[in-house]
Structures are given as C-alpha cells and as structure tokens.
C-alpha cells in the first residue's frame, strides 16, 4: 500500500467552490472551482490541477505530491497564478492513516522574516475532496487563506 493511495483513488475531475479570504477586501471571495487529480509515473506521484477565479479573473494552480520513504514524509511542490507568481513552493509534511495530507512550506516576505504556508488536502473516499490553506505569520499564528470543497464531477 502506497502513502499516496488516497489521492490515486481520486483520479478524475471534481467541481466545487473555492473561498479565498481576500486580504484586500477583508472578506471571502467565492468562485466556482475545478480540480483534476492525475496519477503520475505509475502512482509514484499525484498531481492536482485546479482552477478558480479572483474577482472574476481566471486563476489556476497545481500541486505535485510525492512521498519520501527514506524520510517518512509527504512532499509537494505548489504553484499558483495568484499566490505564487513565478515561484515554486516546496512543502513537506505527513499523511495521516485516513489519507489526509498536511504539508508545510514557507515564502519570503521582505523586508521582514519569511511567512509559513500550510496546505491540507482531505480526500473523503473517491467522491469528495477538500483543500484548505493557511497563511502562517512569523509568530506562528495560522490564518485561513483558502478553503475549497469539491464533489466528483458527474456524481
């Protein structure tokens, strides 16, 4: 059994809603969203490609998941048109026994210290997928940034 099995089982297309905690407006910005889950290299990796919108402008992102057996931890590379611009965030974390991924990364916030970022992906069977992201202040306070819930398209 692979640590990525819960995501591999979700291969396919999902549709739902994404809610960005808009830092400019101070309130949530909600948009329709899709996510496509793809097994890569025979299940050694899994990629989530998602779409959403900010104030009507199309956005997209991708998370490539892996598992480092030597270190015993989940890995991911995250890119997103709105959050990451032209950078890649490397993340590390854990996979729970029920197949939920909890990943952590960080990004530069000059002129101050780096900030943290948390990505939690929770597959619920093969029909529901939840993605929650938090911004983490340099002091360690986690603030909700994005929450998205998807149902398998056509179900």
**In this predicted model, what pLDDT tens digit does every residue of 82-120 receive, in sequence order?**
888 899 999 999 999 999 999 999 999 999 999 999 999
Structure confidence at residue 23 (pLDDT): 77
Q: What percent of the chain has pLDDT over 90?
A: 85
Specify whether the CB–CB gap between 22 and 146 falls below 8 A: no
Give the pTM: 0.93
* Residue 93 exposed, middle or buried by CB count within 10 Å (0-12, 13-18, 19+): middle
Q: How far apart are CA 150 and CA 94, in angstroms?
A: 22
Q: Does residue 130 sit in helix, strand or coil? A: strand
Short-list 98, 128, 119, 142, CA closest to 16: 128
- Count of structural domains within the chain: 1
Structure confidence at residue 15 (pLDDT): 98
Dihedral sign computed on CA atoms, order 101, 102, 106, 109: positive
Structure confidence at residue 25 (pLDDT): 76
Query: CATH number, domain at 85?
Result: 2.40.128.20
| Segments forming the whole domain that contains residue 141 | 5-152
**pLDDT band at residue 155 under the 50/70/90 scheme:** low
As given in the structure block, the two tokens for residue 131 are: 């993605």
On the question of a cis peptide bond just before residue 111, with omega within 30 degrees of 0, the verdict is yes
Structure confidence at residue 112 (pLDDT): 93
């Amino acid at each position: 059994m692979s640590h990525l099995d819960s995501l591999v089982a979700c291969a396919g297309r999902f549709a739902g809603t994404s809610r960005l905690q808009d830092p400019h407006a101070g309130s949530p910005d909600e948009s329709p969203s899709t996510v496509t889950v793809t097994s890569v290299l025979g299940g050694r990796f899994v990629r989530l490609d998602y779409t959403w919108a900010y104030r009507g402008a199309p956005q997209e992102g991708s998370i490539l998941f892996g598992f480092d057996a030597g270190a015993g931890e989940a890995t991911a590379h995250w890119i997103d048109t709105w959050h990451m611009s032209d950078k890649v965030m490397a993340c590390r974390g854990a996979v729970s026994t029920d197949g939920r991924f909890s990943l952590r990364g960080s990004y530069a916030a000059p002129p101050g210290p780096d900030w943290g970022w948390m990505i939690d992906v929770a597959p619920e069977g093969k029909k529901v997928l939840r993605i929650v992201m938090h911004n983490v202040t340099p002091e360690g306070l986690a603030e909700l940034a994005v929450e998205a819930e998807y149902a398998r398209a056509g179900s």
